[in-house]
Amino acid sequence: MTHSDNKPETPGLRRLMHEVIFEAETPSGKLFDVLLLWAIVLSVGAVALESVAEIRAEYGKLLYATEWFFTVVFTVEYVSRVYCSDSPRRYVLSFFGIIDLLAVIPTYLSFFVLGSQYLTVVRVIRLLRVFRVLKMTRYLGEAEVLMEALRASKPKITVFLGSVLSVVVVIGSLMHIIEGPEHGFSNIPVSMYWAIVTLTTVGYGDIAPGTVLGRTLAAAVMILGYGVIAVPTGIVSVELHKAAERMPSKSRCRSCGVDGHRAHAVWCYNCGSRLTKDSNE
C-alpha cells in the first residue's frame, strides 16, 4: 500500500485504477468486481456450450466471437493489473496472478493447438474472488478452519494414502493373475485402475470379475474399502473438531490472553478473571 514515489507520471490515473481493480470498498471498485464475476461465468458458460456439437453448429460464430471478446477483455484486465499493481512482480508470481494469465493463454494457443481453447475453463478458479466482493469474511474464516483442519490432517492422510496405494498395486497384480484378459483385467495398470474404482466404491462396472476366486477377492476389497473410508472421515472429523476449538477471537481472555473458552463461559479457566466479548464480533 506504500505508494512508490519514483514513478510520478499520472499518479492519479494509476491510483484510480488501483482503487477500482484491487479494492472492493468503493462503489466503482465493487461494480468492477461484480462485472468481472459475471464476465467469468458467461465466458465459462460459452466455452461449455461451444463444446456441444448441435449448439456449435447453430451458434458457432456467436460463441466464437464471445470467446474472443472475453479473452480480449481479460487480457486488458491482466495488463492493467500488472501496470497498476504496487508490486507487479509479486502480483505476477502470486496464485491469482498465475491463474489470471492461464485464463487468457489457451485462446491464443488455439491458433496452434486444436481444442486448447477448452482449457480456458481454468477461469472458473478466478471466481474464488467472489468471497472478496461479497465481503464474506465469515466465509473466509470458515474456509480457514477447513484449510487448517486439512493441513493438520496431512501427515495422517499421507500415511493413509501410501498404504492404500500399496494395497492397490498388490491387489491389482493378484486380480490380473486370477482373472486374466478374459474379463477385462488385461494388464496390471488396468487391474490397478479396477482396484481403485472398487476400493473407492465408485464401481463403474466396465471391468468386473467373473470367476469365483476373483469375486471372492473383490468382495474382500469392497469390505476393506467400505471400512477404510472411515479412516479419512475420522481424521478430518477430529481435526475439524480441534480446529473449531482452537479458533481465536471467540472469547479471548483480556487478562492472560488465553482463548478456547467454552461458548457460554463467563470466567477464564486459566486465570479466573471475568471474560468480556471482543468488539469485532
**Rounded Cα gap, residues 151 and 144, in angstroms:** 10
Q: What is the smallest separation between the CB atom of 46 and a second copy, expressed in angstroms?
A: 11
Q: With beta carbons less than 8 A apart as the criterion, state whether 11 and 84 touch.
A: no
Q: Which member of 35, 62, 93, 177 binds a second copy (CB under 8 A)?
A: 177
Restricted to residues 195-254, the positions that interact with a second copy (CB under 8 A) are 196-206, 208, 212, 215-216, 218-219, 222-223, 225-227, 229-242, 244-246
Cell of 66: 464471445
- Segment (H or E) for 124: none
Percentages helix, strand, coil for the chain (3-state, rounded to 5) are 70, 0, 30
Q: What is the smallest separation between the CB atom of 242 and a second copy, expressed in angstroms?
A: 8
Nearer residue to a second copy within complex by CB, 72 or 265: 265
Nearer residue to a second copy within complex by CB, 82 or 121: 121
Nearer residue to a second copy within complex by CB, 16 or 119: 119
Q: With beta carbons less than 8 A apart as the criterion, state whether 147 and 239 touch.
A: no
Q: What is the smallest separation between the CB atom of 86 and a second copy, expressed in angstroms?
A: 28
Q: Which member of 145, 247, 250, 252 binds a second copy (CB under 8 A)?
A: 145
Restricted to residues 55-114, the positions that interact with a second copy (CB under 8 A) are none
133 is a contact residue toward a second copy (CB under 8 A): no
Q: With beta carbons less than 8 A apart as the criterion, state whether 191 and 173 touch.
A: yes
Q: With beta carbons less than 8 A apart as the criterion, state whether 214 and 178 touch.
A: yes
On the CB side of 200, CA atoms within 13 Å amount to 11
Nearer residue to a second copy within complex by CB, 97 or 172: 172
Nearer residue to a second copy within complex by CB, 1 or 57: 57
